Structure 1
Amino acid sequence: MSVAGSYDCVTKSPMGDQTSVLTVNVDGDSWTGENAGQMGTLEITDGKVDGNTLTWTMDMKVPMPMKLECEATVDGDSLTGTVNAGAFGKMAMTGTKKA
């Protein structure tokens, strides 16, 4: 099973549900991609793959500069994880793989 692909995601943020499309391009035990949503597109940095677990960081610019530390597990077509937004704490992230 490959974790590569695009996922329709929802992140439970303090500003309400944020929808986005997370694109995962796997290369061995690392990955690149982007998370495109209502606040713009964030490039994936430091993407790592460990089995069906993804870890990565994103540098958010809007509404304020912040480094987001993320982790998610892929189970079939479902993605479940967290986005750690520093002082704002961890936000739940869920996603469904696009066909």
Structure 2
Amino acid sequence: MAAIDGQWDSVAQSPMGEQKSVLTLTSKPDGSFAGTNSGPLGSMDVTDGQVTGDMVTAKMQLTVPFPMTLTIEGRLEGDTIEGTIDTGAFGKFPMTATRKE
């Protein structure tokens, strides 16, 4: 499993412009991971995190401006995650995350 632990500067390209946040991720003994995503609109838990090879998936429950489940899918290469955030009815948006030093 690729190393997911650490803090990551994340940027999602949404219709509301760039959404910047900090992902704090911690792996678990069973190979999954969890954490938090903190940004200008507050913090949300990162759940159901899995790393399979270099593929990363996780979920977050957005509450502001309205409730929705966000699904992250991406490719982990060293200190970078590139992928999408799927918002369901509002579509998928590109996202990148870079591990902080």
With the length of structure 1 as denominator, give the TM-score of the two structures.
0.92
Q: Which moved more, 1:44-53 or 1:83-92?
A: 44-53
Q: Per-residue deviation at 1:25?
A: 0.5
Runs (4+) of structure 1 exceeding 4 A deviation are: none
TM-fit CA distance, 1:47: 1.2
Percent identical residues? 43
Correspondence list, 1:11-90, <5 A: 11-27=12-28, 28-90=30-92
Contact between 1:29 and 1:50, CA under 8 Å: does it hold in 2?
no
Distance 1:89 1:72 in 2: 16
SS in 2 for 1:88: coil
Structure 1: gaps spanning 5 or more residues? none
Tell me which moved more, 30-39 or 45-54: 45-54
Deviation at 1:85, TM superposition (A): 0.5
Where 2:65 maps in the other structure, the secondary structure is coil
Q: Let me know the Cα RMSD of the aligned residues.
A: 1.2
State the alpha-carbon separation in 1 of the partners of residues 39 and 53 from structure 2. 26
| Residue-pair matches, total | 99
Question: What is the aligned partner in structure 2 of residue 4 from structure 1?
Answer: 5
If the length of structure 2 is used for normalisation, what is the TM-score?
A: 0.91
**Gapped regions of structure 2 (runs ≥ 5):** none
Structure 1 residue 64 displacement after superposition: 0.9
**CA separation of 1:52/1:5 partners in 2, compared to 1, >3 Å: closer, same or farther?**
farther
Structure-2 separation of matches of 1:8 and 1:70: 15
Deviations 1:21-79 (A, max 9, x none): 01110114200101111111110111112122221111100011101111121111111
